[in-house]
Structure 1
Amino acid sequence: MLKKAVVLLSGGMDSTTALYIAKSQGYEIYAISFNYGQRHFKELECAKIISEKAGVKEHIIVNTNMDAWGGSALTDSSISVPDSNIHNGKIPITYVPARNMIFLSFAASYAEVIGAQDIFIGVSEVDYSGYVDCRQEFIDAMENAINFGTVCAVEEGKKIKIHAPLVCMTKSDEIKLGIKLGVDYSLTWTCYRGEELACGTCDSCSLRLKAFKEAGEKDPLQYTVI
């Protein structure tokens, strides 16, 4: 029987690569995506297609209304998504407060129910926008909390491990690895603005374009501006 893994799948480049890494390690994949009121909800359609192509065992979409309190350009329509300024050293307004904390909590609940002891998340603290919930320290703290707060860990000794395989990897190296693993990056969505074509100028697009250039590969997405 294959080991089960819950993979947080946004439909973006990083989470898709993490899914294929888990798959390459022989896990039976259970993907979990979130409709949290994000303006770029197009990524959820990508997540569905990616799940089908990757042959995941189950893909569920959890509805949370994080747009009810906003606080981010991704969940608050009154805040515009700014153009990229990835070298300013400040946390950008596209940071969604406690998003990965919330997502990992859902993933832990899902994992406990299906009997999975492994969770994969595609965060990186190398090429990222400064989000505090993309650091290894945060991942370690969440893993610790999960194993103090789940019956499977406390009563049954079945601890849950959070895998962040991209956390110390540059995005260009991630792309090279993903291509080797069979990732079709044309199916992924990165842009924060949620329009028909990727904008090419937001933080997320800029990091993606930079990574493909450094990897010596052509980005298969269409952009409004590049």
Structure 2
Amino acid sequence: MSDKKAVVLLSGGLDSATVLAMVKAEGYAVYSMSFDYGQRHRAELMAAERVARQQGVVEHKVIGLNLDGIGGSALTDTRIAVPELAGEGIPVTYVPARNTVFLALALGWAEVIEASELFIGVNAIDYSGYPDCRPEFIDAFEKLANLATKAGVEGRPLHVRAPLQYMTKAEIVSKGTGLGVDYGLTVSCYQADADGRACGRCDSCRLRREGFFAAGLSDPTRYV
């Protein structure tokens, strides 16, 4: 097993599956982490397990959270409808503080297993306008990570990497396909059913479908 260790946030969607394949290709021993946070699209958790198994991670960990207890998002409060048309401003599918919480827990695991790299599949081009997907957020969290941890204080810096940050969805799909990612295992839909079938109408479905089309590749997504 490689001496280089990395923790990869794995949602079970297209982007995080691509990141996982990229990190493996760089020669890291990969530890993947998913979150059961009260999301309405819990089928993504089964997708994450499939991807982790297919790509041969060292360990896959699922952490339980109660972000639905906070609410404030269409992904954690079923009383809020998932929009099917793009609107202005930050959409209601934004989950308050989600990436901050996820990265904080991944940071803790990285310290425990002595990994120096955290990877997250956020994107600043083909995305829905979430504030915690911006490069400024990633840079700020890396600074926090090195101020707040024993590893950082003792001179073992931690790095937060977002390799998809400036890639289009088509570029991401092409990259992952070249690395052997089986996108048929993944679930991106915000309101996928229990079997992981996509609605085909939400913003996430739209971006995914357009990505495959622009890349000239067949879309393996299963729709309701």
Task: Name the CA distance, whole Å, in 2 between partners of 1:98 and 1:68.
Answer: 13
CA deviation after TM superposition for structure 1 residue 89, in Å: 3.5
Q: What are the Cα deviations for residues 126-152 of structure 1, in whole angstroms up to 9, with x where unaligned?
A: 000000100110000000001100001
Alignment correspondent of 1:18: 19
Q: What are the Cα deviations for residues 98-151 of structure 1, in whole angstroms up to 9, with x where unaligned?
A: 100000000000000000000010000000000010011000000000110000
CA deviation after TM superposition for structure 1 residue 82, in Å: 1.3
Task: Name the CA distance, whole Å, in 2 between partners of 1:111 and 1:92.
Answer: 31
Q: What are the Cα deviations for residues 54-91 of structure 1, in whole angstroms up to 9, with x where unaligned?
A: 01000000000000011000000111111031xx4311
Matched to 1:157, the amino acid is G
What is the Cα-based RMSD across aligned positions, in Å?
0.8
Normalised TM-score (structure 1)? 0.96
Query: How many correspondences in the alignment?
Result: 221
Alignment correspondent of 2:222: 222
Task: Name the CA distance, whole Å, in 2 between partners of 1:198 and 1:45.
Answer: 14
Structure 1: 5+ residue stretches without partners: none
Matched to 2:72, the amino acid is G
Runs of 4+, deviation exceeding 2 Å: none
Normalised TM-score (structure 2)? 0.97
Alignment correspondent of 1:121: 120
Task: Name the CA distance, whole Å, in 2 between partners of 1:153 and 1:147.
Answer: 4
Matched to 1:200, the amino acid is G
Alignment correspondent of 2:207: 207
Alignment of 1:10-89 (within 5 A): 10-85=11-86, 88-89=87-88
CA deviation after TM superposition for structure 1 residue 29, in Å: 0.3
Task: Name the CA distance, whole Å, in 1 between partners of 2:175 and 2:109.
Answer: 28
Matched to 1:205, the amino acid is C
Task: Name the CA distance, whole Å, in 2 between partners of 1:84 and 1:60.
Answer: 34
SS of 1:221 mapped into structure 2: coil
Task: Name the CA distance, whole Å, in 1 between partners of 2:119 and 2:24.
Answer: 11
Task: Name the CA distance, whole Å, in 2 between partners of 1:91 and 1:209.
Answer: 21
